[in-house]
Structure formats: structure tokens, C-alpha cells
Amino acid sequence: RQESNNEERQITIANIARESSMIISPIKSSTPEIKEKSPSVIPKNGIKVTTTTTATDISFECKIIPIECRYFFKNLKQKYTFENIEAHQKFLEKEYKSLEDERENKLKLFFPEEKQARVISLVRNIVEKVLEKKQLDDQKRIDNLVLDHKREKALLTIRNIGNESAQQYIGNLKEKFQRTLDLKLQLDKLEKRFVENMPPPSLNIFDKLQLYAKQLQPDDKHLSSLREQWKNVLRKTKLELTTLMRQAKMIELEQANKEYDALKKDLPKHLCESHDTICHVMRTRHNQFAKRKLNFLAKRACVINEN
């Protein structure tokens, strides 16, 4: 019977861990402060940020609607206006508070006060890693929203103070800059492939070249040795060709950078700051994409080497 009670208690603890919306700390109050504003939305209106000493207003010239909000209100057949988002935010805060109260009630209902600290420690160990990963993912999404806001603000500035010719000129500049980013990624991929001894797929055509000797048996020892040397030569040739491809890509990237710099010199000074902001956002987003690509290549190389 005691074992049965212990099993029921462990199941109860696990259920509370799954239902918990945050880490319960035995040192601080398990109910955190309610946030003034949800970070999931950057409204056009000013938002009030309260600190321990002062309260400041931050205003944005444009608003960014997260894709989650668009899908949510599309399902409800509502427009994703700031008023609807604000109403939904209040609803989420209410649900958040309800979950907190439910968690606290379950903690007090199922466990005596002297055992609550141990339960809290166990729950924290169960959910800490999951919550940490979720918090990191959420922070990335918030950072991307801020980047989107910077880009939209810069584009709005260009549309307001730049004529049609200037806007077209900046469009050409953006294409040139994107080209430099793409070439840099191609160069980095070639570098990674060379280091990992994994030539580009375009060179796999060399693998179709086979050594044949009609007068010899397929299992002839001398022929097998020659075929192994043949494969080594082809592998070395593919790496040497990869080196030449890297050098060609470096020259191409250098030429693209020169063309971009020459084109940027003629950009009106009052549009330089907005253009630099757009380039910063493009570079940041592209670096995120490039990091995933290079990590994928590294994992693939590990799998190939293991096999």
C-alpha cells in the first residue's frame, strides 16, 4: 500500500510539473509580477515601460503584427487591429493568472506545507530545461520582431523623404548587398566542405569514372589495389577542385563588394542611415540562416565520417 501511495504521489508531482507554466522557486514567491505589456506585439501606440525608479514612454512610428496574431484573428474572422490585439492580450493575462492560481491550489491541496519545498525542487528539475529552451526560443522571436520593426521604420523613412528615383536606387543597392551575402555563404560552405573533406555535390560526377581491365578478373588483387589508388586520386582531385572553387568564389565576392561600395557612394546622405539599418537587418537574418546551413553541413560530415 505504501508503494502504491508513493506511485500516486509521483504521478501527481509529474502532472503538476507538466501543467506548470513556470519554474516555482522556493526562495522567491512562486507568483511573478504580471508584465505590463506582452512582448508578442510591438504596437504603433507608445507603450509605458515601468522601472524601479522611473516610467518612460517608448513610441514607434509603425507597428509590426506577429504572424501568430494574423492567423489567430483570421480564424476568428476578425481584423488584426491594435484594439483586438490588446483585448486578446488581456484575455491571455487573465488565463495566465488563472493557471497560476490553479497551480498554487494544487500544490497546497496535494502536499503538506513541510513537503512543498521538496516538491518544488522536483518540479523545477523536471521542467527547467524545457522552460529554458522555450525562453530562448521566445527571446529569438522577440529579437526578430524588433529587427522587423527597425526595417519597417527605415523603409517608411525612405518612402517619406525619398523620391521615386532614390527608392529605386536603394532597391538596386539592396540587391547588390544581398548578392554579397549570398556569395559569402557560398564561400563559407565551400570552406566547411573542404575542412570536412566533403567536396560539393557538383563534383560527384567524378565518382562515375571507373577503372576497367577486360582481361583481368573482377576479383584480381592487382586490379583491386589499382582501383583503390584510383579512388584516392579522384578524392584528392575533388578536393583540389574545391580549392579552386573557393579561390574563384573569393574573387567573385571581392568584385561584388567593390561594385556595392561604388554604388553606395552615390547614395544621398539623408538616406544612408535608413539604408544601413536595412542592411543590418538583412545581415542579421542572413547570418541566422547561414548558421543553420553550416551546422547542417557539419552534422552531415560527422555522419559520413562515421559510416
Residue 48 pLDDT: 43
pLDDT in tens, 54-67: 444 444 445 566 66
Q: What is the pLDDT of residue 127?
A: 81
- List of the chain residues with pLDDT < 50: 16-61
pLDDT (0 to 100) of residue 304: 78
User: Coil, helix or strand for 50?
Assistant: strand
CA distance 76 to 70: 10
Tell me, what amino acid is at 116?
Answer: Q
Write the CA distances from 177 to 167, 186, 250, 278, integer angstroms: 15, 14, 16, 10
Helix (H) or strand (E) holding 24: none
Residue type, 45: N
Instruction: Give the pLDDT confidence score for residue 78 in this predicted structure.
Output: 76
For residue 58, the model assigns a pLDDT of 41
Query: Count of residues for the chain?
Result: 307
The pLDDT value given to residue 35: 38
Question: Is residue 59 classed exposed, middle or buried when 0-12, 13-18 and 19+ CB atoms within 10 A define those classes?
Answer: exposed
Chain centroid to CA 75: how far? 26
pLDDT score for 184: 94
Give me the pLDDT at residue 186, please: 93
Output the pLDDT for position 53.
44
Tell me, what's the pLDDT at 62? 53
Query: Residues of 75-103 as b/e, b for ≥16 C-beta within 10 angstroms?
Result: eeeeebeeeebeebbeeeeeeeeeebeeb
CB atoms within 10 A of CB 180: 21
Sketch the domain layout of the chain as residue ranges: 2-161, 164-306
- Alpha carbon distance 161, 183 (integer Å): 32
Q: Which pLDDT belongs to residue 9?
A: 57
Cα angle vertex 302, ends 298, 307, to 5°? 150
Distance from the Cα of residue 197 to its chain's centroid: 27
pLDDT for the residue 179? 95
In this structure, what C-alpha cell is assigned to residue 184? Answer: 559569402
